[in-house]
Amino acid sequence: MIILENINKSFKNVKVLNNLNISFEDKKITVVIGRSGEGKSVMLKHIVGLLKPDSGRVLFNDIDLNSINKKELNELRKKFGMVFQDGALFDSINIFENVAFPLRQHLKLSEGDVVKKVISALNDVGLSGIESKMPAELSGGMRKRVAVARALILEPETVLFDEPTTGLDPIMSDVINNLIISTQKHFKYTGIIISHDIEGAYKTADTIAMLYEGAIIEKGDAEKFKTSDNPVVRQFVTGSMIGPIVI
Amino acid sequence: MDFILRYFEKIGLFVLYIINELGSLIIYLWNCILSILRYSVNVNNLFDQMAFIGMDSFYIVGLTGLFVGMVLSLQAYYAARIVGVTYMIGPTVALAMTRELGPVLTALMITARCGSSMASEIGTMKISEQVDALEVMAVDPFYFLSVPRIIASMVMLPIMSIVTSLIGIFGGYVVYKFFLGLNGAVFVDMIYKYIKLSDIYNGLLKAVFFGIILATISTFKGFEASGGSKGVGRVTTQAVVLSSIYILFADYILTSILF
Amino acid sequence: MKLNKETKVGLFTVAILLILVFFSMKVGKINLFKPPTYIISTYFASANGIGIGTNVEMAGIKVGTVKKIKLENGQAHVYMEINSKYKIYPDYTASIRSMSLLGESYISITPANTAQALSSKPVPENEIIKSYKSPENMSSLILKFAKTADNLEAVTKSLKKSIGTKTGEHKIKAILANIAELSDNLNRLVYLNQKNFNVIMTNFAGFSRNINGLTVENDRALTKTIHNFRAISDNLRQELPSITDNIKIVSANLGDILTKNKSNINRSLVHIRKDTKQLQLSLNQIYGISSKINKGRGTLGKLVNRSSVYDNLNGSLKGINNLVGGFNSFKVGMNINSQYLDHTNGSVTEVNVKLQPSPGHYYILGVDSTPINYGNSYGETQTTTYTTNNPPSGQFYPSSVTTNTTQYSNSNSLKFNAEIAKNFYNWTFLGGLMYSTGGVGVNYYVPDTNRNLKLYARAFGFNSNNGSAEAYVNAGVSYTFLRHLFVDTGYDDIFSKHNNRSLFVGGGIKFTDKDLEYLIAGSKMP
Ligand SMILES: Nc1ncnc2c1ncn2[C@@H]1O[C@H](COP(=O)(O)OP(=O)(O)OP(=O)(O)O)[C@@H](O)[C@H]1O
Ligand SMILES: [Mg+2]
C-alpha cells in the first residue's frame, strides 16, 4: 500500500501539489489522470523519493520515505520500476544494454540469461532487431517502449508509468495497455499509470483518480468516472472545451 | 548611501557564494567517499574512465609535453648562454617538467579534455532525467558516475604526468642536441646529477591531488546542471574554469608544502 | 588480437610505471645488478668537500664511491667502495681533488709507480691506503676573501683616522709634498733612463700584444673562466653573510667618516686646495712623464691630451669640492680592493679615488698598503730619506739612499697612487705614480661584457734603486659583478729575477659618485 498524506510541493513560488492525499492499493492498477502541467509527474517522483515534499508524508508499506536513510531508500527502490515521461534511456549505451542495465546492476545472471531476458522483454513491447541501436536512433514512441521494457525487466513489485502510451499510435497504445494488463496479471505488481488516454484508462485501471489543482478531486472505478457528476471530471472525461476548467 | 551598501551586499553575496560552493564541493566529495564505503567502486566504469583519461589522452598530453619541453629548452638556452651555463639546460627542463609543468600541464589538459566531457555528460544525463532513472533503478549516481571518474582521474593523472614529463624532457633533449647542436650526453648526465627522487615523487603526488580536484569539480558541476542545453554548457564552462583555478591554487599550496 | 579495455588500461599503466621505476632507479642511483665491490679506506686531515657518494677516480675514471666518513682522532677516516674490477695496490695514494676551481670535489687515487704495481699484490678488503694533504680548495679561498674584506675594513678605519685628525692633515700635506718631490725625481729618472724606458715600453707594447693574442686564442678558456667567476659569485653567496657584514662595516665606516668628519673633510679639502700648487706641480711632473713617453715611444703620445691637463686638474678639484656639496658635474668613483699574494702570503690593499672629468680620461688618486719592497718601492719613510739626502741633481741617482733607511714598523707600508688614464675604445692606458713609483699600465675591457671583464697589466717600480731599473710587471683579469663587487686574479712580478713571481687573488668593492652621494648626502639611492 502506497499512501501520500497531505503532500504540499512548490517550485519557487508556484504551488504544484496542494495538500494531496491519495492511496494506491497493492497489486492493483491505479490510473491518475489530469491536465497537462497539473503535477502528475511531480507526484510520481514523490513516490520514488526523487522529490521531497515540502510537507506531508509518503508511506510505502507504512515506511515513511523521509525517515529512512539513503541506503534503505535504495533497497526500497529495488522494488520499483519506473517509466519516465521522456523515457530517460541512457543515451551513451545501446538499447540492449539499456534494457539489460537493471539486470546487470542487481542480478548476477549469466550472459546467456541476460540476452534471453532482454530479447523477450523487447519482443513484448514490439521491438526486435534494434538491440544494437543507440537511443538517439529511435523514434520517441520506440524509446518509450524500450523504457517500458526496462521498467518491467526486473519484475518489480511496483511499477510507475508516466504516460506510457502518449506519443504512440492507437494500435501500439493498445499493445502497451495489453502488455501492462498481462504483465500485471502475471507478476501481480502494483501499477500506477499516469495517462491522458481516457479509453486506455477505462481498459487498464482498477481505480482511476483525477488530479486537479494539486489535489485529488475524484477517485473510483471506471464506472464511477463515466457517471460522475463532478463538472470538472465530466469536462475532462468528455474532453470538452466548455466547462469549469479555466484554460 | 544605499548604492554604496549595495556594493557591500554584492561582495557579501560573492563571499557567501564562494563559501557555499566550496562547502558543497566538500560535502559532495564526502558523499563520494561514503558511496565508496557503501557500494565500493564500479570497476567497469572505472576502467572506461581510465582508458578515457589515460590512453585516449595520450596524444594531446604527449604533444603538450613535447612542445613545452622543446620551448623550455630553447628559452633556457637564451638565458643560460649569457652566463655560459648551457649544461644546466637539462636539469632546468627536467626539474621544471617533473616538479611543475608535468603535473600542472597534464592536469590542465585533462581538465580541458576530460573534465569538460565529464561535466557535460553528467549534465546532460541530469537534465534528461537519466540521473533520476539511475536513482530509481537503485543505482547510486555517486557510485555509478562520480566515484569511477574521480578515482580514474586520481590514478591516471600521475601516470599521464609521467608521460608529459618524459616526453617534455625528450623534446628538450631533441632541441638541445639537434637544434642547438650541443652535447646530448651532457644534457642527460646533468639531469641525473641534479634531479632527486623527491622531485619526481612530489610532482606525482601533486598530480594525484590535481586528479581528485579536477574530477570532483567536473562531476559536481555536472550534477548542478539544469535548464536544458544552455545549462549544460554553463556548468561545463564552470567546471573547466573552476577546476583550472583550483588546480593552480592547489599547485601553489602543495608546492609550498612539499618542496 | 583484440584486447579488451581492462587489458589495455593495465598494459598502459604498467608500462608507464615500469618506465617510472627505471628512471627512479637511475635518479636514485639504485642498482639492482650491483657489480661486486670491496672496501678500502684512508685518512684525510680534512674531508672538506666530500661526502657519502662522492666519486672516487683513478686517472680520471670512476672506480667507486665514498661509502662512509668517520671522525677518528681528529682525522677524517674515509671508507671507499671500489668496484672489484679495479685493483688498488699498496703505495697508491688518495687525495681530495677539485674538478675545477669551484667544481665538486672528488677523491683521486694515484699510483706511486707502475713498476711497483705490477710486482706487488693488490690491496685486500678493508685495507687503509695513504693519503696526502688535500690541496687548497675554494672554500678556504673564500674564507681568505672574507679576511681580505676585514683588511679593507681596517684600511678604511686607518684612513678615517688619518683624514680625521690633525696629524692626518699634516700627513696628507706631507704626502702631497712627497708626491711632488717624488714625481720630480721620477721626471729626472725617466729623463736619465730614457734608454731603459724605451726598452720597457717596447716590452710593454709586446706584452699587450700578447695579451691581445691570448684573448683571441683562448676564447674558450676565457668563457670557462667567466663560468668559474659566475660560480665564484654563487659560492660567494654562501659566504655572503660574513662578507656582506664586512662590506656593510666598510661602507658604514665610509659613511661615518664622511658624515662625522664632514667639517674635517671640508677642512682637509681647503688644505688640499691650498696644496693645489703642489698637486699641480706633481701632476705637471706626471705630465712630464707622459710627454717623455710620447717622445720615447710615440704611440702613447696621442693618448695624452696636453693642453687640457690644467683645466682637467682644476675640474677635478672642483669635483672634489662639489662631491661634498652633494652635486657634481663629472664622475667620481671610488674603489677599495685587496689582493692576496700567494707567493709571499702578503696582501696589497688599496683605496683609490677616480676622478673622471670626461668619458675619455680620468685621474686616480689613492693610498695603498703593500708589503715592504712591493713593486721595488719603499715605504713612506723611505721616501722621506730622499729629502734628507738632498736629491741628486746629476746622474747616479740615488745610490746612497738605502743606507739610512728606517724600516716602517708595520709589516705593510703606505704608498700612493696618482695616475692619468686615457680611454681608447676598449683600451685604457694609464701612467703616473703607482705604489709610489713611476708606472704605466694598460687595461683591456673584453667586448660585450659591459666593461665587467677586464684584462690589465701594470709596469711600475721605475724609481727602483736596485740599479737595474727592472720593471715590476703584473697582469691579471678582473671581473665585476653585482655592480659593486669585483674579483681579480693574475700574476704578480711576472718578470721577476728573484723568483718572486706570484699568483694573486683578490677582490673589492667600488662605488660611483651616485653611491658616494648617497653615503655622503643621504640622498636617494640610484
Ligand atoms: N524541477 C522543476 N522545477 C520547477 N518547476 C517544476 C519542476 N518540475 C515540475 N515543475 C512544475 O510543476 C508543474 C507540474 O509539472 P508536472 O511535470 O508534474 O506536470 P504533469 O502533470 O506531469 O504534466 P504533463 O501531463 O504535461 O506531463 C509544472 O507547472 C512545472 O512547471
Ligand atoms: Mg508529466
Looking at the complex, does the CB of residue B83 fall below 8 Å from at least one CB of chain C?
Answer: yes
Chains that touch A (3 or more CB pairs under 8 A): B
8 Å CB contact between C64 and C86 = yes
The band of C122, judged by pLDDT with boundaries at 50, 70 and 90, is: low
**pLDDT over threshold 60, residue C338:** yes
Taking residue B98's Cβ as centre, other Cβ atoms within 10 Å add up to 29
Record the pTM.
Answer: 0.59
Q: Ligand 1 atom 16: the closest Cα is on which residue?
A: A39
Strand A215-220 versus strand C453-460 pairing type? unpaired
**pLDDT over threshold 90, residue B165:** yes
**pLDDT over threshold 60, residue C465:** no
Our answer on whether the CB atom of A228 is closer than 6 Å to any ligand 1 atom is no
Name the least confident of A118-122, A223-227, B58-62. A223-227
Q: Cβ contacts (< 8 Å) between A92 and chain B: which residues? A: 121
| Ligand 1, pocket-test mutation among A18, A22, A42, most atoms within 8 A of CB | A42
By residue range, what is the domain housing residue A28?
A: 1-79+158-247
Angle between helices C194-217 and C219-260 (to 10 degrees): 120
Element (H, E) at C348: strand C347-358
Cα of B130 from ligand 1 centre, angstroms: 17
pLDDT of residue B111: 95
> Stretch C469-491: mean pLDDT, rounded?
78
- Phi/psi at C371 (nearest 5 deg)? -65, 155
DSSP summary character for residue A84: B
What's the rounded Cα separation, in Å, for the pair C99 and C97? 7
Amino acid letter, residue B149: R
The more confident residue out of A236 and C386 is A236
- Phi/psi at C107 (nearest 5 deg)? -100, 130
| CATH (domain of A33) | 3.40.50.300
Cα of A16 from ligand 1 centre, angstroms: 8
Q: Is C230 close to B84, i.e. CB distance below 8 A?
A: yes
Joined grid coordinates for residue A214? 494539486
Same domain, yes or no: A137 and A167:
no
Nearest CA in chain A to B127: A88
Residue A106 belongs to some domain of the structure: yes
Q: Find where cell 595520450 sits.
A: B58
Cα of A237 from ligand 1 centre, angstroms: 21
What's the rounded Cα separation, in Å, for the pair B113 and C61? 50
Q: What is the DSSP string of C433-492?
A: EETTEEEEEEEEEPTTSTT-EEEEEEEE-TT-SSSS---EEEEEEEEEETTTEEEEEEEE
Q: Is C13 close to B51, i.e. CB distance below 8 A?
A: no
Same domain, yes or no: A52 and A66:
yes
**pLDDT over threshold 70, residue B5:** yes
Same domain, yes or no: A215 and A167:
yes
The band of C347, judged by pLDDT with boundaries at 50, 70 and 90, is: confident
Cα of A197 from ligand 2 centre, angstroms: 13
* Tens digit of each residue's pLDDT (9 = 90 or more) over A38-94: 889 999 999 998 999 999 999 988 888 888 888 888 888 988 999 998 889 999 899
> Stretch B231-246: mean pLDDT, rounded?
93
Q: How many domains does chain A have?
A: 2
Size of interface B-C (CB pairs under 8 A): 48
Our answer on whether the CB atom of A143 is closer than 6 Å to any ligand 1 atom is no
Q: Is B196 close to C27, i.e. CB distance below 8 A?
A: yes
Our answer on whether the CB atom of A41 is closer than 6 Å to any ligand 1 atom is yes
Q: Is B135 close to A77, i.e. CB distance below 8 A?
A: yes
Q: Find where cell 616538479 sits.
A: B99
Same domain, yes or no: A101 and A12:
no
Nearest CA in chain B to A153: B137
Comparing C-alpha atoms, which of C465, C460, C350 is closest to residue C416?
C350
Question: What's chain B's length in residues?
Answer: 259
Do chain A and B touch: 3 or more Cβ pairs under 8 angstroms?
yes
> Stretch C429-455: mean pLDDT, rounded?
80
> Stretch C14-21: mean pLDDT, rounded?
89
Name the least confident of A50-54, B185-189, C281-285. C281-285
Q: Is C19 close to B83, i.e. CB distance below 8 A?
A: no
What's the rounded Cα separation, in Å, for the pair C105 and B144? 59
**pLDDT over threshold 90, residue B233:** yes
The band of B38, judged by pLDDT with boundaries at 50, 70 and 90, is: confident
What's the rounded Cα separation, in Å, for the pair B123 and B115? 12
The band of B112, judged by pLDDT with boundaries at 50, 70 and 90, is: very high
8 Å CB contact between A191 and A201 = no
Which of B137, B145, B226 has the most A C-beta neighbours within 10 Å, making it the best mutation to test the interface with A?
Answer: B137
> What's the mean pLDDT when you consider all of chain C?
63
Residue A85 belongs to some domain of the structure: no
Domains of chain C, by residue range, sit at 1-31, 37-134, 143-312, 330-521
Strand C437-445 versus strand C427-434 pairing type? antiparallel
Q: Which residues sit opposite C480 in a β-bridge?
A: C486
The band of C330, judged by pLDDT with boundaries at 50, 70 and 90, is: low
**pLDDT over threshold 80, residue C262:** no
8 Å CB contact between C69 and C52 = yes
**pLDDT over threshold 70, residue C136:** no
Taking residue B58's Cβ as centre, other Cβ atoms within 10 Å add up to 14
Burial of A73-87, coded b for 16+ CB within 10 Å and e otherwise, reads: bbebbbbbbbbbbbb
Which range among A223-232, C250-259, C371-380 has the greatest average pLDDT?
Answer: A223-232
**pLDDT over threshold 50, residue C199:** yes
> Stretch A112-117: mean pLDDT, rounded?
92
CATH number of C330-521: 2.40.160
pLDDT of residue C323: 39
Joined grid coordinates for residue C120? 706487488
What's the rounded Cα separation, in Å, for the pair C149 and C507? 9
Our answer on whether the CB atom of A13 is closer than 6 Å to any ligand 1 atom is no
Portion of chain C with pLDDT greater than 70, in percent: 42
What's the rounded Cα separation, in Å, for the pair A69 and A60? 14
* Tens digit of each residue's pLDDT (9 = 90 or more) over C363-412: 787 777 777 667 554 433 333 333 333 444 444 444 433 333 333 333 34
Would you call B68 exposed, middle or buried from its count of C-beta atoms within 10 A (0-12, 13-18, 19+)?
Answer: buried
Cα of A196 from ligand 1 centre, angstroms: 15
Cα of C206 from ligand 2 centre, angstroms: 105
**pLDDT over threshold 90, residue B222:** yes
**pLDDT over threshold 80, residue C222:** no
pLDDT of residue B159: 94
8 Å CB contact between C287 and C279 = no
* Tens digit of each residue's pLDDT (9 = 90 or more) over C144-169: 556 656 665 665 565 555 555 566 55
Domains of chain B, by residue range, sit at 42-258
Where among A155, A172, A202 does a domain terminate? A155
Q: Cβ contacts (< 8 Å) between B128 and chain A: which residues? A: 86, 88, 91
DSSP summary character for residue C407: P
In C165-193, where does DSSP find H-type helix? 166-192
Contacts of C453 (CB under 8 A, 6+ apart): C226, C445, C446, C477, C478, C479, C480
Maximal C-alpha separation, chain B: 70
Looking at the complex, does the CB of residue A60 fall below 8 Å from at least one CB of chain B?
Answer: no
From the list B121, B130, B138, the residue facing A77 with the nearest CB is: B138
Q: Cβ contacts (< 8 Å) between B140 and chain A: which residues? A: 70, 74
Q: Which residues sit opposite C78 in a β-bridge?
A: C42, C69
The band of C206, judged by pLDDT with boundaries at 50, 70 and 90, is: low
What's the rounded Cα separation, in Å, for the pair B86 and C195? 51
Q: Find where cell 622531485 sits.
A: B199
Do chain C and A touch: 3 or more Cβ pairs under 8 angstroms?
no
**pLDDT over threshold 80, residue C495:** no
pLDDT of residue C286: 44
Q: Is B136 close to A48, i.e. CB distance below 8 A?
A: yes
Which range among A100-109, C207-216, C272-281 has the greatest average pLDDT?
Answer: A100-109
Joined grid coordinates for residue B142? 555517486
**pLDDT over threshold 50, residue C309:** no
8 Å CB contact between C268 and C257 = no
Name the least confident of B102-106, B155-159, C48-52. C48-52
Residue A84 belongs to some domain of the structure: no
Name the least confident of B145-149, C53-57, C408-412. C408-412
DSSP summary character for residue C398: T
Name the least confident of B230-234, B250-254, C284-288. C284-288
A207-212 β-sheet, strand order: A80-83, A158-162, A190-194, A29-34, A207-212, A215-220
User: What distance in Å separates residue B236's CA from the closest CA in chain C?
Assistant: 26
The band of C314, judged by pLDDT with boundaries at 50, 70 and 90, is: very low
Measured CA distances, C342 to C64, C345, C414, C477, C495 (Å):
34, 5, 20, 16, 16
8 Å CB contact between B68 and B144 = no
Residue A199 belongs to some domain of the structure: yes
Same domain, yes or no: A135 and A165:
no
Our answer on whether the CB atom of A195 is closer than 6 Å to any ligand 1 atom is no
- For residue A196, give the ligand 1 atom closest to its CA: 25
